[in-house]
Chain A
Amino acid sequence: DTAVSQTPKYLVTQMGNDKSIKCEQNLGHDTMYWYKQDSKKFLKIMFSYNNKELIINETVPNRFSPKSPDKAHLNLHINSLELGDSAVYFCASSHTGKAAFFGQGTRLTVV
């Protein structure tokens, strides 16, 4: 069973569109994250969320918003997609203060 799964694995879309990436974890973790890996392969935190607080990295545009329907899911919504949003997005989860486990990534290409 996949511990952290995200869908879709590949997403190609046009500029200006709105898209979502889904993430689910079955590890019983209380904290979930979204990371962005840019063209230089740098993994950068975007959000962390548990049932108490959402922490947003200040560099993330407000076109990006996480939505958590329950503890096992943290979806990423992106509005008005731009070319620079092309990257690999990773979802992850952890118990607070412990190692994070990552999904397989979603490669987003904006054309």
Chain B
Amino acid sequence: DQQVKQNSPSLSVQEGRISILNCDYTNSMFDYFLWYKKYPAEGPTFLISISSIKDKNEDGRFTVFLNKSAKHLSLHIVPSQPGDSAVYFCAASTPNTGNQFYFGTGTSLTVIP
């Protein structure tokens, strides 16, 4: 069963606009959430994280929002740049499983110049 879901397989955004990537989870024990970016033929690269005690974390153009009651998190990229075009994965972990990270299926973001 998939505990972390990304329901949008793809997203296209104009350069300079906001990109919003969404993620839902089912396990209420998750306490740490992350976003990764992946280019073809490379490993995932860590972008930003948030712990369950917060509802927002910001790092430059990237902001992650966490809504625990809805079991939902989102990644906002503002402004979007062509170099942001990649597959974005959300992930979650809980200490109960040795801090293993459970990944969503990914959203392919295309930023159009």
Residues of A at the B interface (CB closer than 8 Å) are 4, 31, 33, 35, 40-45, 48, 50, 53, 55, 57, 90, 92, 94, 96-97, 99-105
Note all chain B residues with C-beta closer than 8 A to A50: 98
Q: How many residues of B contact A (CB 8 A)?
A: 23
- A-B CB contacts (within 8 Å), total count: 59
Residues of B within 8 A of A (CB): 32, 34, 36, 41-46, 49, 87, 89, 93, 95, 97-103, 105-106
Inter-subunit contact B44/A43 (CB<8 Å): yes
Q: With A53-B98, A97-B32, A99-B34 as known contacts, state yes or no: A42 contacts B45, CB within 8 Å.
A: no
Q: How far is the CA of A94 from the CA of B98 in the complex (A)?
A: 11
Least Cβ–Cβ distance between B94 and chain A, in angstroms: 10
A101 touches B46 (CB 8 A): yes
Is A55 in contact with B100, judged by CB distance below 8 angstroms? yes
A–B Cβ pairs within 8 angstroms, 25 of them: A4-B43, A33-B100, A33-B101, A40-B105, A41-B105, A41-B106, A42-B103, A42-B105, A43-B103, A43-B106, A45-B103, A48-B97, A48-B98, A50-B98, A55-B97, A55-B98, A90-B43, A90-B44, A99-B34, A100-B101, A101-B46, A102-B45, A104-B42, A105-B41, A105-B42
Question: Who on chain B is nearest to A95 by CB?
Answer: B99
List the A residue with the shortest CB-CB distance to B51: A97
A12 to B41 Cα, complex, angstroms: 16
B43, B44, B93 interface centre (most CB from chain A within 10 Å): B43
